[in-house]
Amino acid sequence: MSLEIFTHSWKTFEVLQIPAFDDNYLYLIVDSGSAWAVDPGDGPIIDSVLTQKNLKLKGILNTHHHSDHVGGNAFLAEKWQCPVYAHPKDQARIPAFTHPVQEGLTLELGNLKVQVLDVPGHTLNHVAYGLAEPQWLFCGDTLFPCGCGRLFEGTPQQMYGSLKKLRQLPGETLVFCAHEYTLSNLRFALQEFPDDTLLKRLQMEMTEKKQRTSCTIPTTLQMEKDANPFLRWDDPKIRKALEMSDAEDWQVFAEIRKRRDHF
Q: Which residues here bind Zn ion, judged by CB under 5 A?
A: 66, 141
Instruction: Tell me if 152 sits within 8 A of 116, measured CB to CB.
Output: no
CB of 173 to Zn ion, least distance (A): 21
- The least CB distance from residue 141 to Zn ion, in Å, is 4
In this structure, are residues 64 and 43 in contact, taking their beta carbons and an 8 Å threshold?
no
- CB contact set of 76 (below 8 Å; sequence gap of 6+): 37, 40, 43, 46, 47, 57, 60, 82
For residues 43 and 71, is the Cβ–Cβ distance under 8 A?
A: yes
The answer to whether 137 and 173 are in contact (CB under 8 A) is yes
The least distance separating Zn ion from the CB of residue 17, rounded to whole angstroms, comes to 17
Q: Using CA atoms, how far apart are residues 33 and 67, in angstroms rounded to an integer?
A: 27
Q: Which residue is nearest to Zn ion (CB)?
A: 66
Q: Rounded CA gap, 39 and 28, in Å?
A: 9
- What angle do helix axes 156-167 and 249-261 make, rounded to 10 degrees? 110
Active site residues: 64, 66, 68-69, 122, 141, 179
Alpha-carbon span 135 to 182, nearest angstrom: 21
Alpha carbon distance 138, 62 (integer Å): 10
Radius of gyration of the chain from its Cα atoms, rounded to whole angstroms: 18
CA pair distance 40, 61, nearest whole angstrom: 8
With beta carbons less than 8 A apart as the criterion, state whether 137 and 174 touch.
Answer: yes
Using the minimum distance from each CB to Zn ion, give the nearer residue, 39 or 196: 39
